[in-house]
Amino acid sequence: MARTVGSNGPKTMEAIRKAGLRLIYTQGYEAMSLRRLAAEVGIQAGSLYNHITTKQDLLFDLIKVHMDELLERLDQALDGIADPEDRLQAFIAFHVGYHIARKREVFICYSELRSLESKNYDIVVGLRQQYERKLIGILDDGVASGRFTVADTTVAAYGILAMLTGVCTWFKPAGRLSKEEVTGIYTGMVRHGLVRTVDAPAVAEAT
C-alpha cells in the first residue's frame, strides 16, 4: 500500500488511531498485528515505533482519549444546570447521544478492558469511576432534595448506565426511531423509576 499520510507527526498519529480503532473493533485486540496496522496507515512497520512503542500503548491511548473526552463533554453538558431532574435529563441525553456517535470507542472500552496491563487498567477504571460518580452525585442530590426516591443511589446509577449504554448494541441511525425519540423513551423510564410523585390528596370519608 502506498504511503498516504506523509511525514507529519500529528497527522500520522491520528491516522494510526483511526486505523487501530477500526482494526481492534473488527478483529479484536489480540488478532490485530502492528504489521497490518502499518499497512492500513500506509507506512513501513518500523515507522510505527516513531509514534507508539507497543500495541498495548495504542490500546491504552485509544481508551484513555475516549474516557477523557467523555468526562470533558459531560461536564460541558451539565454546566449551569442545578436542578437534579434537569441534570438527570441532561445526563441521559448526553450519554445516549455520545454513545450512539462513538459506537466503536465504547465497544473497545468495554470489551478490551481485560486486555489492558495492570497499570493501564487501574487508570481507566479510575476514569470510569469518575464518570459513574457524576451520575451518583446527581441521584444523591435528588434524594437529598426529596425529588428522587431510591434506596441505593450507587446501585441505581449502575443500572441506569447499563441500560443507557446498551443503546450501542441495537440502535441504527436509519432505523424506526430517531436518537431523540430513543432518548425520550429512556428518560421516561428512568424518571418513572426515580422521581417521587406527589401524593394525591386524601378523599374525605363519607359521613
The architecture of the domain spanning 56-194 is: Orthogonal Bundle (1.10)
Q: Per-residue pLDDT tens, the chain, 207 aa: give them.
A: 334 444 457 888 899 999 999 999 999 999 999 999 999 999 988 888 888 889 999 999 999 999 999 999 999 999 999 999 999 999 999 999 999 999 999 999 999 999 999 999 999 999 999 999 999 999 999 999 999 999 999 999 999 999 999 998 898 888 899 999 999 999 999 988 888 765 434 434 433
Determine phi and psi for 53, rounding to 5 degrees.
-85, -45
Residue ranges with strand state E in 7-128: none
The third-level CATH classification (topology) of the domain covering 9-52 is: Arc Repressor Mutant, subunit A (1.10.10)
Q: What is the full DSSP assignment across 44-70?
A: -GGGGGGT-SSHHHHHHHHHHHHHHHH
Angle at 32 between CA 47 and CA 13, to 5 degrees: 35
| Domain positions in the chain | 9-52, 56-194
Domains 9-52 and 56-194 alike in fold = no
Determine phi and psi for 198, rounding to 5 degrees.
-75, 130
